[in-house]
A = this chain, B = another copy of it.
Amino acid sequence: MRPSKRNPDELRRVSIERAVSKHAEGSCLIKFGDTHVLCTASLEERVPPWLKGQARGWVTAEYGMLPRATNERMRREVTVGHASGRTQEIQRLIGRALRAVVDLPKLGERQISIDCDVIQADGGTRTAAITGAWVALHDCIQWMKLRDMVKDDVLRDQVAAVSCGLYKGAAVLDLDYVEDSGAEADSNFVMTGSGGIVEVQGTAETVAFSQESFDQLMSLAKKGIGELVALQKLTVS
């Protein structure tokens, strides 16, 4: 029995609200239950220095968490002086996930920066961030299309993410904070709208797990990501 009474293969209630920012070219507030992430896409007419003159664009992501998004207040990273290893890991993951579905040469020499800021955290912030980031990115590219800056096929596919884990011996989908803290194994999956795998990360928290267990996690992920992709499609249509 999950603490949230959900079935093993049941996502939390997911909602995506578009166009929540007055300024950003694309934006949404995505909620995976009590995990709330604000995603904005910012278009810049420049690329990173190492990409100059290569006739391709770039998509990058940054991730942050408000100090009291969590149960105990955390120090701001600016006070510490640099982004934590966890933050860097997550923003690199989000960036890779998005670039997997963007045709960078067709973007032109421009950069889209996706900011994923966790307003409230209850587990699964990185998977909510990726899922919402795609919506913000989509709307930013839509904004560009309306201005004839890019052609139709810059965005090649959808991308979404979900976590799965082994909790009290059972494989469960979309862990909340309580489950995440007590899980024997924890994994994150990023997949495209057409079902391709973009990123797989599985970690044994207490003891090593078997390939059978891992296969169960992947099955759950496929089901969950299928539902998230359907919601994304509905949201932007």
Q: Which chain A residues have a beta carbon within 8 Å of chain B's beta carbons?
A: 21-24, 27, 34, 38, 40, 42, 44, 62, 64, 66-71, 73, 76-85, 88-89, 91-92, 96, 100, 113, 115, 117, 119-120, 122, 157, 187, 191-192, 194, 196-204, 207-211, 213-214, 218
Instruction: List chain B residues, Cβ under 8 A from A209.
Output: 196-197
Pick the contact of A196: B69, B84, B89, B204 (CB < 8 A).
B204
CB distance from A128 to the nearest CB of B (A): 15
Contact check, B203 vs A199: say whether CB atoms are below 8 A apart. yes
Complex interface: chain B residues within 8 A of A73 (CB): 42, 44, 113, 115
Residues of B within 8 A of A202 (CB): 197, 199-201
Q: Could you say which of B23, B24, B68, B84 contacts A42, with CB atoms under 8 Å apart? A: B68
The residue in chain B whose Cβ has the minimal distance to the Cβ of A120 is B22
Residues of B within 8 A of A122 (CB): 22
In the assembled complex, 7 residue pairs joining A and B whose CB atoms fall closer than 8 Å, in A order, are A23-B120, A24-B68, A27-B68, A40-B67, A89-B92, A201-B202, A211-B218
